[in-house]
Structure 1
Amino acid sequence: MTTDAHTDAPDSPPLVPLHCLRHAEPGPPRLAALPTGTPVWVLTRHADVRQALAHPDLGRASLYAPDAPPTTLTPNILDDPSSILNSDGPDHQAIRRTVQRAFTPRAIERWRPWVDDVVRELVDRLAASGSPAEVVGALTKPLPVRVISRLMELEGLDIDRLGSWSDHALSTTAYTAEEIRTAIREFGEFGYQLVLARRKNPGEDLVSSLVQAADQTGGMTEAQITSLTIGLVIAGHETTMTSFGNALVYLLDPERGETWRRIGQDLSAATAATEQLLRTIPLGDRTTAPGQLRRATADLEIGGVTIPAGAVVAADTTAANADPEVYPPGPLDLFAPLGTPSLTFGAGPHHCLGAWLARMELELGLHHLSRVLPELRLAAPVEDIEWRTGLITRSPLRLAVTW
């Protein structure tokens, strides 16, 4: 039987907003256990986490080796051994070089006006609908779908179908293993047909750029191009929707009215706030793992502790992003520039490819929403928020606002 994944279970304690979660105190590597029972070394200090994410002897591929211990209770999209996420060394570098040919700075800047147009249209429509309103259905959910549809030339994409695929692909307890496998299989077929179509009739879209770059370099298989394509759809959709919704829960507190208005008055303020929000508000509860998982392929030392070959390591980026040795403790200055980049999107070879798109959408979304609705605020207490649960990420299912 399928678990009701999208609302809080009636008998569970109320969930707090993600910006209120307590994170692990940064300290030396410590031994814990995953929900599967597998021992895991948890890293919490910024320097240790960054070292681990960039270390050549800590990889993703070895998590799926024949002798690897179990790390997940249910399948999800992150567990595809053939994906770029789970490749290391020369194989990963070859795929990465191919992708970077499509993600040039020039291409990214060419897409910025598209994102800006979509944001403005959705914000204007929300404002015209009148107060009160529901901001998830009107803005944070459709925005990333509209943007990724435009970047990939998928106009008319079924938003509900895409949302269902993404939810299944990132499920922890929301769906059965069979339901997850079926959804991922359907999503993979969608991606495969899309790649074939763009190879036959290339355009100016992102998928065509990926296919052309792969054909020119010969660095990717069809399965890898397909995996990357659906991965970008999920990352572009899920990360933005989750970050945007959780950022609004934080920003629309009545006590932060002046902060909210400043974001709309100055785009550079929105840019700085985006970086701080991404650093301080996690994407989820860390119920499946206490960080980004890697496995040691050799003995190595991190933070003065020897990690043996074969051990699983969890890099807790949430704790690292709050390390007082790196970021000033105390009240958050939302507009202070980051002296050290956050680790929200990872670091090293597996740094998130879609980070630029998530940043762009969140920055423009917050700026234009505040510009048009400077008096926007939550219409109900945060205790009444319904949450999307049972997934790797957590965000508001609905969010009532007024102005």
Structure 2
Amino acid sequence: MSTDLTGLFTTSDRDAFFAGLAKAGPVVQGRYVDGTPIWLVTGYEDCLAVLTDSRFSSDLARQGKLDVAAAAGLPEDVLPYLMRTLGAYDPPDHTRLRGLVSREFTARRVHALRPRIQEITDELVDALAGREEADLIEALAYPLPIRVICELLGVPQADQDTWRAWSAALQAADLDGIAAGARGLVAYMGGLIEAKRAEPGDDLLSALVHARDRLSDEELTSVAISILMAGHETTVSLISSGALILLTDPARADLLRGDAGAMAVAVEEMLRVSGPAEISPMRFTLEDVEIGGVAIPEGEVVQIVNAAANRDPRRFADPDQLMLDRSDNAHLGFGHGIHYCLGAALARAEAEIALHTLLVRLPKLRLAVPAEEIIWRPGLVRALTALPVRIAPGSP
């Protein structure tokens, strides 16, 4: 069985691929997509051990094996802005930055956004209801998170399409496109920060720019870009994969349609079995470490495999079964420990609202093609290429 992560770009069955990694052992040697030797951690308890052990670093600069620029396809001039995200810092720098951002990116701010998330969702579903067929990703799953995160951060609506084009370029296969998208995004964010410095608004970026404990311009740019990127790509995948789950099981959809509260529990199970973050950001050993009975030397690259850990039978009963009412569900879909996803509450809110609104407003929504024709996009993030649906007459 293969322990080479390049398989994520060729496999037609992502679940089977991760199951194969798990069978190889909870801690095994493998290879990253560029061929770099790495250690793969797939056992649930072993992943928790890595995520909470300070002997594992998240700082790319503290390792010498992985060529970050080559692996990411990013030009050197923008690499610090796009690779020095919150997830790539260790304490004490991480503690300082995380504290500054979390002080402004609060649960209260996210809760206050829920009515606006519902408004945007209703607007998009209104447009969807007037069509016979549509790609649910383009019609709802993609535009909703973009509009929400842009409004939260303070990106003007007139700029959102341009920003989306740069963001899409970063996902492209050609290096020239990646470089152009990266440089455009970094330059734009630098200009937006200056605009917020001159005329602050009631948005997250303004709050960060004018925080009492200031971030440097490089830190501001990096944090703002990481919030923008993380705030939409993974949520697009969560909404679309969640919709696919419901569209392929009308009985489950019927149970959730009349109970908005149950959707919150269902979303957690969607994150466990089909979450977008199938692997975590890299970790690097600062000294010799033993995990799961396996000795890992100092200076090694370690890759946590969330998708395998989330189906570990030693932690989850019937792990391959989708149970949308599963109560004991401490999945790793948003990570764990000091690098737990800062935008988890926002992603949950968007998925819950979008999926419940679809069930209620479009009860006759159906897949436009057989489920087996739905294709997962090759790559390191679990995402559908498209989700064609048919909106039946009389719906809503």
- Compute the displacement of 1:228 (Å): 1.0
- Compute the displacement of 1:159 (Å): 4.6
1:251 aligns with 2:251: no
Give matches, 1:34-113, under 5 Å. Answer: 34-61=32-59, 63-65=60-62, 67-70=64-67, 73-75=71-73, 80-113=82-115
Residue aligning to 1:5:
none
- Compute the displacement of 1:393 (Å): 4.4
- Compute the displacement of 1:392 (Å): 4.0
1:402 aligns with 2:395: no
Residue aligning to 1:28:
26
> Per-residue displacement from partner, 1:189-247 (whole Å, max 9, x unpaired)?
1111111111211121121122233xx023x2111111111111111111111111122
Give matches, 1:359-398, under 5 Å. Answer: 359-385=348-374, 388-389=377-378, 392-398=381-387
Specify the SS of the correspondent of 1:323.
Answer: coil
- Is the Cα contact below 8 Å between 2:29 and 2:40 reproduced in 1? yes
Distance (whole Å) between structure 2 residues aligned to residue 40 and residue 144 of structure 1: 33
- Compute the displacement of 1:97 (Å): 0.6
Residue aligning to 2:4:
none
Residue aligning to 2:267:
274
Specify the SS of the correspondent of 2:290.
Answer: strand
Give the ranges of 4+ consecutive aligned residues of structure 1 lying more than 6 Å apart after TM superposition: none
Specify the SS of the correspondent of 2:71.
Answer: coil
Unmatched tracts of structure 1, length 5 or more: 1-8
Distance (whole Å) between structure 2 residues aligned to residue 212 and residue 264 of structure 1: 43
Assess, with a 3 A threshold, how the Cα gap between structure 1 residues 157 and 305 changes in structure 2: closer, same or farther: farther
2:230 aligns with one of 230, 235, 251: 235
- Is the Cα contact below 8 Å between 2:107 and 2:345 reproduced in 1? no
> Per-residue displacement from partner, 1:242-279 (whole Å, max 9, x unpaired)?
111122222211xx112112222111111111111011
Assess, with a 3 A threshold, how the Cα gap between structure 1 residues 332 and 64 changes in structure 2: closer, same or farther: same
Distance (whole Å) between structure 1 residues aligned to residue 281 and residue 150 of structure 2: 28
Residue aligning to 1:147:
148
Residue aligning to 1:184:
182
Distance (whole Å) between structure 1 residues aligned to residue 32 and residue 332 of structure 2: 21
- Is the Cα contact below 8 Å between 2:133 and 2:388 reproduced in 1? no
1:316 aligns with 2:305: yes
Which one is further off, 82-91 or 182-191? Answer: 82-91
Residue aligning to 2:339:
350
Specify the SS of the correspondent of 1:133.
Answer: strand
TM-score by length of 2: 0.87
2:292 aligns with one of 303, 309, 312: 303
- Is the Cα contact below 8 Å between 1:149 and 1:157 reproduced in 2? no
Distance (whole Å) between structure 2 residues aligned to residue 22 and residue 103 of structure 1: 33
- Compute the displacement of 1:382 (Å): 2.6
- Is the Cα contact below 8 Å between 2:18 and 2:308 reproduced in 1? no
> Per-residue displacement from partner, 1:347-375 (whole Å, max 9, x unpaired)?
12221112221111111100111011123
Distance (whole Å) between structure 1 residues aligned to residue 84 and residue 39 of structure 2: 25
- Is the Cα contact below 8 Å between 1:211 and 1:225 reproduced in 2? yes
Assess, with a 3 A threshold, how the Cα gap between structure 1 residues 20 and 240 changes in structure 2: closer, same or farther: farther
Specify the SS of the correspondent of 1:295.
Answer: strand
Unmatched tracts of structure 2, length 5 or more: 1-8
- Is the Cα contact below 8 Å between 2:36 and 2:65 reproduced in 1? no
Give matches, 1:196-215, under 5 Å. Answer: 196-213=194-211
After superposition, the CA RMSD in angstroms is 2.5
- Is the Cα contact below 8 Å between 1:29 and 1:305 reproduced in 2? yes
- Is the Cα contact below 8 Å between 1:81 and 1:87 reproduced in 2? no
Distance (whole Å) between structure 2 residues aligned to residue 374 and residue 22 of structure 1: 34
Q: For 1:252, give the aligned amino acid.
A: L
Assess, with a 3 A threshold, how the Cα gap between structure 1 residues 176 and 131 changes in structure 2: closer, same or farther: closer
Residue aligning to 2:6:
none
Specify the SS of the correspondent of 2:282.
Answer: strand
- Is the Cα contact below 8 Å between 1:263 and 1:371 reproduced in 2? no
Distance (whole Å) between structure 1 residues aligned to residue 380 and residue 160 of structure 2: 18
